Copies of this chain bind each other. A is one copy, B any other.
Amino acid sequence: MASAATGAAKPGLLLLRRTDATFTAALRARFRVLDFYASGAPLRAFLTAAAAEPDPPRAALVVAGGAILVDAAFLDAVPSLGCVVTTGAGVDHVDLAQCAGRGVVVAGAGEIFSVDVADHAVGLLIGVLRRLAAAGRYVRAGLWPAQGDYRLTSKLSGKRVGIIGLGSIGSQIAKRLQAFGCAISYHSRAPKASVPYRYFPDVHALAADSDALIVACALNDATRRIVGRRVLDALGPDGVLVNIARGGNVDEQELVAALQDGRIAGAGLDVFQNEPHVPPELRDMDNVVLTAHEAVSTEESRADLQELMIGNLEAFFAGKPLLTPVLRP
């Protein structure tokens, strides 16, 4: 591990994500970076070697949506760890209970991503109702002069929108859609104080009362496949689904079947069960808007996030409270 030989006075950092040159330089200026992807080693060997160093790393920088899970085995391999900094809007790739049990603190992205994800969700909703992507393909293929006006689409204003999960992202979505004249309802573990939206303790009832259903919850045991066949059928043949949460929140096979059978009208999807793989059936559907798990990926947020990651690491090494701690659910 070449990086371990230099800058011994700097605190050690396990780097388990790919970074651009600017951010890498910013990290190396502050930390002794043990770079997994640069090492070429298998994960377990990399972690074991890092743990065996004279001054083993006390912090790790990880990424959501990758293959690396911060689970018991990971934490066992590097007992020196005291802090995990991650950057997902969700933290389903970090076992918070295992971390808490070992006194490992976890920092997340805070609310940096909330507005981008909410913007993206609204974009997907307008996209699927107004068929923007399919209309674009129609124009680009030169079909407008040949086949005439594009088909009628579905109005957004006035639609009943059900949001699953009214956290930071769900609240931002609700705020936006209120301005479009949508009627907002939501489902979450418990009703939120002081929000003007209708609460449904049961997600099936929410779907039955919604024209559009937006999945905006964290992925955990209570929300895995929270949208399955029964909920999709409650949403019904005129209903559309938007998912900007996690692929695991939706039973993807049931979703494909519901779209194929016309049991729902369409879907706007940024996340999938087995990313980067998207079911080929979806890729051929005109009533589906697809993006590549990019709801958080704006230039502006990326810059803010890099600053926040360094801020959290510096706070940890200085013995101060994390800027954006993730609490156990």
Contacts and interface: CB of A to CB of B under 8 A. Distances in A.
Given A116-B156, A130-B294, A145-B276, 18 more contacts: A115-B157, A116-B155, A122-B126, A123-B132, A124-B132, A126-B126, A130-B291, A135-B294, A138-B292, A139-B291, A139-B292, A140-B284, A145-B277, A150-B291, A150-B292, A151-B297, A153-B294, A153-B298
A302 to B, nearest CB: 6
A261 interface: no
A130 B120 contact: yes
Interface stretch (A47-55, A173-181, A214-222, A251-259): A173-181
Interface string A285-309: 0000111111001111110000000
Q: How many copies does the complex hold?
A: 2
A124 B139 CA distance: 14
A129 to B, nearest CB: 8
Contacts of A157: 115-116, 119
Interface of A: 115-116, 119-120, 122-124, 126-127, 130, 132-133, 135-140, 142, 144-145, 148-158, 175-176, 178-181, 275-278, 283-284, 289-294, 297-302
Contacts of A149: 276, 292-294, 297
A68 to B, nearest CB: 16
